Amino acid sequence: MDTIDTRGLSCPQPVIMVTNAVSDGKAAFEVLTDSECSLENITRLLESKKYKYEIIEKDEYKIIKAAK
Amino acid sequence: MKNIFKSRTGIIIAGSVIGIIAALLQYMGNPPNMGFCIACFERDIAGAIGLHRADVVQYVRPEIIGIMIGALLISMIKGEFRPRGGSSTVIRFFLGAFAMVGALVFLGCPWRAFIRLAGGDWNAVLGILGLIVGIGIGSFFIKKGYSLGRNYSQSKAVGFIMPAFMIVLFLMLVFGFSKLMLSEKGPGSMHASIIISIIAGLIVGGLAQRSRFCTMGSIRDIILVKDFHLISGVAAFTLAVFIMNLILGQFHPGFTLSVTDAAGVITSKPQAIAHSMHLWNFLGMVLAGLAFSLAGGCPGRQLILTGEGDTDSGIFVLGMIAGAAFSHNFAMASSGKGIGTFGAWGTIIGLVFCLIIAYTMTQKRKLS
C-alpha cells in the first residue's frame, strides 16, 4: 500500500498530494499527518471522493487509512 | 474531539461573528472600514515601537495581540498547540515583508479589502481582483510542486516566544510605558478602548483557530481544488460587515475619496484611508496575494498559526512588521493622496522577488 507522508507540510500541499493519489486512481493508501488542520482538509476531500477511511493515532502523528 | 467548526455551518457562523465584531469595533472607535486590518494594525505596532516614524499610524493594537493569544489558548485546550518550525525561515521573513509592502500600497490586508467592500468602498474591488490574480499565480506554482519544505517539532518553550512578545507589548500599552510612540492624530489615534479591543481579538482568534478561517485560503482552495468551504466563511464575513454597516450607518457606496464645498473645503470623506489609483490598488494586492499564497496563509491566519506554535508563521509576522517599517521609512506606503514616492518600485521589486522564490522552490511533482 502506498504511504503519503505529509508530516511537516502545510496546507494545501497535503491535500494536493492526496488529490494526486485519488486522481491516479489509487484504491487504497495511507496518509501520515501531524496537523489537525490537514487532517480535517484531507478527510473532507476523502468524503467528497467517496473514500472510506479510518484514523489511527500515533504519538506524534496520525495515520489515515483510506480505501475506495 | 469533534470540531463543530469543521462543518460548513461552523465556518459560516465563525465568519459572521468575526464580521459583526469588525463592524462594531469601527463603531466603537477604530478607523473607517478598519474594524480589523491585520496589515494596518501590525504596521501601527511597528510604529508604536519606533520602527517607523509615521506619526499618524502608531498604536499597539490589542486586536493583534488578542488574536494570537486567543488562538494560543484554544489550541492548548484542544491539544493542537504544537511548537514547530524550520521550513525556509528566511524566505518566510521576506515574503512577510513584501506582503506588507503590497498591502500598504493598496491600504489593507485581505480582511480589510472585504471590509472596505462591505463599507461601499468600490476601490476595494480592484484590490480584491488583484488578490485573486496574485493567489492564482501562487496556486499555479503550488500545483507544479512549489513547497517551502517540511517543518519539524520544536521544544515547547519555542512556541511561547511570539505570544510572550505580544503579552509584553500589551503590558507596555496597559501600563503606559513612556517610550511607546502613540499617535495623537490620524488613524493611529482612532481606536476602541483597550478592554474592548483585546476581548474582540481573543474571540476572533479563538473562532478563527477552530474554523481555520483564511481569506487567502478561501480563494486558493477554489482555484486549486474547487473547494468552497473557506469561501463560505469569507462570504458570511463580508455579508455580516455589510449588514452591520447598514444598521450602524457606516455604509457609504462610491469611489469618491472626499467631497469639497464651493470654497474647496473638504466637507466629508466617504472613503477614508483609501486611494483611487486603480492600477496600484490592483498590483499592490497581486503582490500581497502572491506572497500570502507562497507563505500558506493570509495575515490573520499567520497570527493564528503563530498562536498554535508555528514559529515559521511567527517569522512571517515579524517580516510583516519589518516590512511596514521599510514601507514607511522608504516612502513606499500609500496614503489618501495616492501611492508613495517609491510605492511602484517596492511593488515591482516585491513581485520579482516572489516570482524568483516561486520558481526556484518548485520541483515538479516531487511531492506525490
Of B78, B151, B296, the CB nearest to A8: B151
pLDDT at residue number B343: 97
Tell me what ipTM this predicted complex has. 0.90
The CA distance from B298 to B64, in Å, is 14
Tell me if A12 and B212 make a contact (CB, 8 A cut-off).
no
What's the pLDDT at B259?
81
- Tell me whether residue B368 is in a domain: no
Whole-number pLDDT of residue B261 = 83
- Whole-model pTM: value is 0.95
Q: What's the sign of the alpha-carbon dihedral B192, B197, B201, B203?
A: negative
Euclidean distance between CA atoms A58 and B80, whole angstroms = 14
Residues sharing a CB contact under 8 Å with residue B4, sequence separation 6 or more, in sequence order: B10, B210
CB contact under 8 A, B224 and A7: no
The 3-state secondary structure of A1-68, one letter per residue: CEEEECCCCCCCHHHHHHHHHHHCCCCEEEEEECCHHHHHHHHHHHHHCCCEEEEEECCCCEEEEEEC
Residue B2: per-residue pLDDT = 62
Residue B367 inside a domain? The answer is no
- Comparing alpha-carbon positions, the chain B residue that sits nearest to A7 is B150
Which cell goes with A37?
Answer: 488542520
Residue B22, domain member (yes or no): yes
What is the count of structural domains for chain B?
A: 1
Tell me which residue range forms the domain holding B242. 4-360
Chosen for mutation from A4, A5, A6, A16 (greatest number of chain B CBs closer than 10 Å) is A16
Nearest CA to A38 out of B150, B136, B291 is that of B150
Q: Would you say how long chain A is, in residues?
A: 68
What parts of chain B have a pLDDT lower than 50?
Answer: 1, 365, 367-368
Which domains does chain A possess?
2-67 (3.30.110.40)
pLDDT value, residue B27: 97
8 Å CB contact of B80 and A60: no
Residue ranges of chain B whose CB lies within 8 Å of a chain A CB:
3, 6, 78, 80, 82, 84, 87, 142-143, 147-153, 212, 217, 220-221, 224-225, 227, 229, 296-297, 365, 367-368
Q: Which pLDDT score, from 0 to 100, does residue B364 have?
A: 56
pLDDT of residue B148: 95
